[in-house]
A and B are shown apart, each in its own frame.
Chain A
């Protein structure tokens, strides 16, 4: 996971504080070389700034000749935006604000690029056994309802990227109750506070979880990807294919 703010890759601390890491392209090149399965790039300030998707960034990523699939999210307002993001070089798009604000357009995105190329982003927290969906524009937390999940359960959006927004970038681990308490039938990508191999292995083993996304830990330790892969049960991951050039 590469979190981008103001055009720079950043280390995020619960989406409240940020530390610059460098150019997103440099991080993407490293992840590509290390044989990661997929690179997710989230430009977290595009919707708030009404700036639309960062097409220039996606084009730069597309121009790198990465051999790893890229999913891009941030500022996507319409099917047209999503189509241009794919043309610019991403394989999948991540929708966040659009999921809350325009379900019709979410369907239009899926009709254009295919549901399999659409990931829905859900920043969540768990309180008293209930799940709350954070709206980072209004900063409100609303209890997640069955209606909220209809784009997923109706097959319009293929996977949910659930972000533990409380523990993202913090010292505490991913809250597994987000996965345990999530309604059935939606494939999940878990993110936020996932750094302990033992926990990642446990989350991976959950039948609803199709992927675990890791952000900050890959930026601060040499060979972090390789170390993590070695620590995970072989049955949960494919053999890595490191680039030798």
Chain B
């Protein structure tokens, strides 16, 4: 049976790119902020572009913060992309202090004033996670200035930007990617296909 991916629509970021790439590898997609629709999905994707605080405010305004917490507590698979990965953490220090979804322990910190990670970079797998291992050494598109800083046990891949930064994190069925797999051409498409299939236990 076809896997259905729910793309969480909270008004931040571009959902259509994720929808297109997931559709191109055979998954059915639903873009919605309606728990009734999202409940019927096998996996949720939390996309995101921009700043942490307005994103959390948008999630709270739709009560999606609690919904995602319940979703994760039930062991259902969730995938955060770029800002969506950062939202999985406990707190961010972007423009003040803002609590996150607290689904993967860690904090989100600035890379430093005037420091960004923009463009294509190689990821290095930090563990033997079978979902990420085939992507070791492949290049992905990054576009961020804040980074996840958490216990090493949750880091499954890193990228070198002067020093190592977390490029992918995982806690059970919850996965975050700092890069944009949906904009990373064949490498990104292959990783998304593997992640969705693997996390859904198909």
Contacts and interface: CB of A to CB of B under 8 A. Distances in A.
Q: Does B associate with A?
A: yes
B17 A65 contact: yes
Interface in A81-120: 83, 86-92, 111-117
Contacts of A243: 185-186
B30 interface: no
Interface string B31-59: 00000000000000000011100100000
A155 B145 CA distance: 10
A112 B51 contact: yes
A88 B187 contact: no
B184 interface: yes
A225 interface: no
A91 B183 contact: yes
Contacts, number: 103
A116 B116 contact: yes
A241 interface: yes
Interface string A15-36: 0000000000000000000010
B187 A113 contact: no
A37 interface: yes
Nearest to A58: B14
Contacts of B23: 65
Interface stretch (B63-71, B100-108, B117-125, B194-202): B117-125
B185 A241 contact: yes
B191 to A, nearest CB: 12
Nearest to A244: B186
A35 B185 CA distance: 7
B13 A238 contact: no
Contacts of A83: 50
A158 interface: yes
A113 B49 contact: yes
Closest A-B pairs by Cβ, 3 of them? A65-B20, A155-B114, A241-B185
20 contacts: A37-B119, A38-B141, A62-B17, A63-B16, A64-B20, A65-B17, A65-B23, A66-B17, A67-B21, A67-B182, A86-B49, A87-B11, A89-B14, A91-B14, A91-B141, A91-B143, A91-B180, A92-B143, A238-B139, A241-B185
Given A67-B184, A158-B145, 15 more contacts: A37-B119, A63-B16, A65-B24, A69-B141, A69-B180, A86-B50, A87-B14, A91-B141, A113-B50, A114-B50, A155-B113, A158-B118, A187-B118, A238-B139, A241-B186
